[in-house]
Structure 1
Amino acid sequence: MTDFQSRIGFSPMWKIFSIGVLILVLLIPLMMVRSLIDERSIRYDEAVADISSRWGNEQSFSGPMIVVPYTEVVSRDKNGPVYAYRSAYFLPEDLKIDGALEAEKRKISIYEAVLYSVNLKVQGVFRLPTEASLRAASGGEITKIHWDRAFAVIGISDTRGIKQDLAFEWDGARRSFLPGTNRSQLFTTGLHSAIHLDGKGGTAPFKFNLQLLGSRSLSFTPIGKSTNVKLEGGWGDPGFTGALLPEPRTITDNHFTAEWNASYYGRSYGQILIDPEADASGAISASSFGFQLIQTVDHYQKSERAAKYGILFLLLTFTAFFLFEIYTGLRLHPLQYLMVGSAMVVFYLLFVSLSEHVVFVVAYLIAALATTGLISAYAAVILRSRKRAGILAGLLAALYSYLYVVMTSEDSALLLGSIALFGFLSLVMYLTRKIDWYAMGKAAPAGALK
């Protein structure tokens, strides 16, 4: 070996450059692993959607409303007046919903979805429309009000989740809901029931029970002048969503209760909606509130988060091997670094595949122990010392322990990462503070810094 080759072989800068190139090379399999995680996550979402489609999708409940059709003059031409058939929607004065929810998990192959069955007891009071109130709300030239065609309508986003006949109690009379919204422009899917109105006003109480199947989330709209929704269910990790948070609410490990109270002052639409109003449907949706059945961050999300730290882990581990070279005078070939890096990449693949079949903690523990054991056994040979391999095993154990904490503590992941990186950098600076890097580039380090 020439003097030039010897110097190059032992040059710290040359070794650092080689390690940098190896890390860039290992980025390719790391990216492939992340792509695989995304692919498995998409397949999981497809499986959940398949289960939900046969049970019931995310549900949104709105109603009931009274719909009164009428005929109105919209313009006049040489042939006379031009008429339009329109509808007025009257919202309830008081709306109360009591719900009892049961959650369960269903599986297809290795994929699991969270489903629910909720029993809703809906009741309230309508202030019945009069001819005067309808004409005032319309503001147009009404020629006829079709009281005989009036009906009540409720909006349900996925009516496949309705599994029983619905009895609708209206002003003391028992009626039945029929499929569809009777061409309502506010709701694309739902139910309707014919009701008797005479235009003389007054009030009418209503009530009905609805058993609804769905998945992932359930939302309500505060269409009552006063709206009260109470919900309890056997799920310990609900996420509350929408325009209004519940107050009060209680959450335990396997149960929750929540209560929403809303008035019509907190929404952007009134008690009478004239059809067609382009923004009415959007305004109603924007005022909705509800909950999600959250599954604690699934293993695909955790795996994706862990894979983001792949470069950092390679850098820290290679730094440890590099320091062993500096302090012991050993020479490690780039291929040996590549072997160690490949084992660290395989960790993520092993972790993802195991987590699909066993509990997340167990999958992570097996993958971490297997990787740590493999690299430590290899290091015992190439570093020519079990003690050095033990030090490396301790470092890897600390790294994988840190990674587990980061994956399970999303809110503080950045803080933990910053502290860990700062601590490791401080340690490296301390260990290398007395090294004469210029001297190391001039001769082989055998016998130096042992």
Structure 2
Amino acid sequence: MSNLPPRITPPPLPVFTPQPPSAKPNRPSGPDMSVGLKIVLMGLLCCVLMIGALAIWLMAYDRNTTSADVSQDIVGQWGEKTYIDGPFLAIEPDTDSLRPAGIVPVALNVNANVETMSLHRGIYEAEVFTAAISMKGHFRSSDFKRFESDSITVKIDIDPHNVTETSPLKIGDTTYAWSRSDSSLHACIPIADLDKIEDVPFSTSIKARGSGGFFIMPSADTNTITIIGNATNPSFSREQLPVSRKVGKDGFSARWEIRHTVGGYNVCEYVGADFLLGVDRYQKVCRAIKYAFIIIILTFFSVFFTETTMHRPIPMFNYFLIGVALILFYSLLLGLSEHMSFGASYLIAAVMTITLITCYMWKMLGSKAVGLAICGVLSIMYGFCYVMLCISTYALLFGSLLLFVALAATMYGSLKIQYR
């Protein structure tokens, strides 16, 4: 036997089994909190975000005030509302008369073409108009024989500042030049020129300018007044409404037919139209901000139901970032609307905001479907808000429909929440 030591068998090496790498969570980490607490925190966050919305509203209000001041300055230089009374005959008073006597026409036919336009000063603008007015009619020659005077004055009461051009007054076959006073146009007519005319026809035309409204006094016994223009939102709110009118996207036309006299003086007030400016860009931004709280609440609840149904808690900081994006929408809208139309500004600001939040939700939760769902919700909300801004008549209806749909979605989503 050999004296070799016994052979020692080494113990088997441990088998190394590689562990699969732990999957990285595709959700944000954050403290797990109860549903009630999270809803309370979302409400508080909404109130904080509305402070930012209020700041943007104050900015829009301040710019709206500046715009109104600039517009008023432009209007003061161009001309305010235009009022036309006449033509009528004014007799120089004698020593026993306290005021001039007046003779109104037997018939008066007025045609006016009013073209509105915008004047710009920097980023601000004012709505003004130019008007081409033609007048014709006739006086009764027998009325002149009641007055012992060598001449008579034909007057048209109108602010001369608003008059840009006049054509001579034509009576019969003779023309007379207009003169201007502080408040009217007048032409002196010798009575001798009218003795041979039984019915005294007249005609003239005026070019005027102004802003805000255009009005004519039906000063004759029988009046036919026609006003046409390119304004799409005239308001016929005076005492006498037109017998026929048509308003469309290409403009308007209105016609008045008025018969009256009481003791030689008309008993009707001015007829015409106010040209409403509608809701300008700053007013629309201010109105849009009024819906900010609803937009924020509905967006937060959409995100909340997403994280609840997917069991992927989202920290409140992420809610805050989403809310900031929603508030910046109004800052973008205000800035863009000063350089382009409100519709284009709204579209660009909405697309930027929706794209940002959609991509953020997609990357945060790792779900393309969630991102598209949030995109759809935001698109619907911003679409409804735009309709409410542009169609004020149906604002209440569309707003109620939006809230009803939101409530229905909230009720359905609440069934999937596990309360604890």
Task: Tell me which residue corresponds to 1:152.
Answer: 154
Q: What's 2:222 paired with?
A: 226
Deviation string, structure 1 residues 396-438 (Cα, Å, up to 9, x no partner):
111111112222221111011101101110111112135453x
**Map 1:129-208 → 2, pairs under 5 A:** 147=149, 150-157=152-159, 159-170=160-171, 172-180=173-181, 189-196=183-190, 204-208=200-204
Summarize the Cα distance change of 1:147–1:25 in structure 2 as closer, same or farther, 3 Å threshold.
Answer: farther
User: Pick from 50, 55, 78: which aligns with 1:55?
Assistant: 78
Q: Does 1:12 align with 2:8?
A: no
Aligned position for 2:294:
312
Please give the secondary structure, in 1, of the residue aligned with 2:154.
Answer: strand
State whether residues 91 and 271 of structure 1, in contact with CA within 8 Å, keep that contact through their aligned partners in structure 2. Answer: no
Any conservation in 1 of the 2:381–2:402 contact (CA below 8 Å)?
Answer: no
Q: What letter matches 1:22 in structure 2?
A: L
Instruction: Give the conservation status (yes or no) of the 8 Å contact 1:123–1:207.
Output: yes
Q: CA deviation at 1:160?
A: 2.2
Give the fraction of aligned pairs with identical amino acids, expressed as a percent.
26
- 1:312-359 Cα deviation digits (max 9, x unpaired): 111111111222333233333333322222211111111121122123
The runs of 5 or more residues in structure 2 that have no matched partner are 1-30
- The structural deviation recorded for 1:238 is 4.3
Rounded to whole Å, the distance in 2 between the matches of 1:129 and 1:333 is 93
Across the two proteins, how many residue pairs are aligned to each other?
A: 388
Q: Which amino acid counterpart does residue 362 of structure 2 have in structure 1?
A: A
**TM superposition shift of 1:72:** 7.9
Given that 1:307 and 1:348 are in contact with CA atoms closer than 8 Å, whether structure 2 keeps it comes out as: yes
Taking structure 2 as the reference length, the TM-score comes to 0.80
Could you tell me how far apart the structure 2 residues matched to 1:436 and 1:236 are? 55
Amino acid at match of 1:164: E
Q: 1:436 to 1:380 in 2, by over 3 A?
A: closer
Query: For each residue in 1:3-48, what CA deviation from the matched residue of structure 2 results, as whole angstroms up to 9, or x when unmatched?
Result: xxxxx96232322222222222222222222222222223333333
Answer with 1 or 2: which has the greater Rg. 2
Letter in 1 for 2:256: W
Is 1:300 the equivalent of 2:282? yes
Look up the equivalent residue of 2:370 and give its one-letter code.
R
The equivalent of 1:259 in structure 2 is 255
1:185 alignment counterpart: none
Aligned-residue RMSD, C-alpha: 3.3
Per-residue CA deviation, residues 211-254 of structure 1 (Å, 9 max, x unaligned), is 11233431112222211112333455544442333343445543
1:246 aligns to what SS in structure 2? coil
The alpha-carbon deviation at position 271 of structure 1 amounts to 4.8
Mapping 1:382-393, distance limit 5 Å: 382-393=364-375
Q: Name which of structure 1's ranges 85-94 and 290-299 shifts more when overlaid on structure 2.
A: 290-299
Pick aligned residue for 1:28 from 25, 30, 51 = 51
Aligned-pair CA distance for 1:311: 1.0
CA–CA distance in structure 1, aligned partners of residues 297 and 386 of structure 2: 18
Indicate if the aligned counterparts of 2:309 and 2:417 stay in contact, CA closer than 8 A.
Answer: no
1:106 is aligned with what amino acid? L
Please state how far the C-alpha of 1:371 moved relative to its aligned partner: 0.6
Change over 3 Å in CA distance of 1:324–1:146 after alignment to 2: farther
Deviates more, 1:208-217 or 1:368-377: 208-217
* Residues 271, 24 of structure 1: alpha-carbon distance in 2 compared, 3 angstrom cutoff: farther
Q: Structure 2: how far apart are the matches of 1:154 and 1:10?
A: 80
Q: Matched residues in 2 for 1:128 and 1:19: separation?
A: 83
Matches of 2:98 and 2:247, distance apart in 1: 49
Take 1:148 and 1:24, find their aligned partners in 2: how far apart are those partners? 80
Q: In 1, Cα distance between the equivalents of 2:142 and 2:53?
A: 66
1:272 corresponds, among 240, 255, 264, to 264
Change (3 A) 1:97 1:352: same
**CA gap 1:434/1:338 in 2 versus in 1, 3 angstroms:** closer
Task: Give the alignment's TM-score, normalised by structure 1.
Answer: 0.75
350-359 or 332-341: bigger deviation: 332-341
CA pair 130-232 structure 1, distance change in 2 beyond 3 A: closer
Counterpart selection for 1:427 from 390, 396, 409: 409
The one-character-per-residue Cα deviations of 1:270-291 (angstroms, maximum 9, x if unpaired) are 3535xxxxxx9xx76xx22223
Distance of aligned partners of 1:86 and 1:237 in 2 relative to their CA distance in 1, 3 Å threshold: closer
- Residue aligning to 1:214: 210
Matched, 1:41 2:64: yes
Find 1:396's aligned residue among 378, 384, 391. Answer: 378
Is 1:122 the counterpart of 2:135? The answer is: yes
Name the aligned partner's letter for residue 13 of structure 1: G
Output the CA distance in 1 between the equivalents of 2:368 and 2:209. 60
Asked if the contact 2:157/2:184 (under 8 Å) is kept, the reply is yes
Letter in 2 for 1:122: M
> Would the aligned equivalents of 1:72 and 1:86 in 2 still touch at CA under 8 Å?
no
Counterpart CA distance in 1 for 2:401 and 2:116 is 40
CA distance in 2, matches of 1:153, 1:310: 57
Amino acid of the structure 2 residue aligned with 1:20: G
Within the candidate set 359, 364, 375, 1:377 is matched to 359
Question: Does the alignment pair 1:243 with 2:256?
Answer: no
Q: 1:395-414, aligned counterparts within 5 Å?
A: 395-414=377-396
Residue 4 of structure 1 corresponds to which residue in structure 2? Answer: none
Pair 1:129–1:326, CA change in 2 (3 A): farther
Deviation at 1:59, TM superposition (A): 1.4
Alignment-derived partner of residue 349 in structure 1: 331
Tell me the distance in 1 between the aligned counterparts of 2:61 and 2:250. Answer: 30
Alpha carbons 1:222, 1:264 under 8 Å: kept: no
Q: Give the secondary-structure state (helix, strand or coil) at the position aligned to 1:242.
A: coil
Question: Would you say the 8 A contact 1:168–1:175 is kept in 2?
Answer: yes
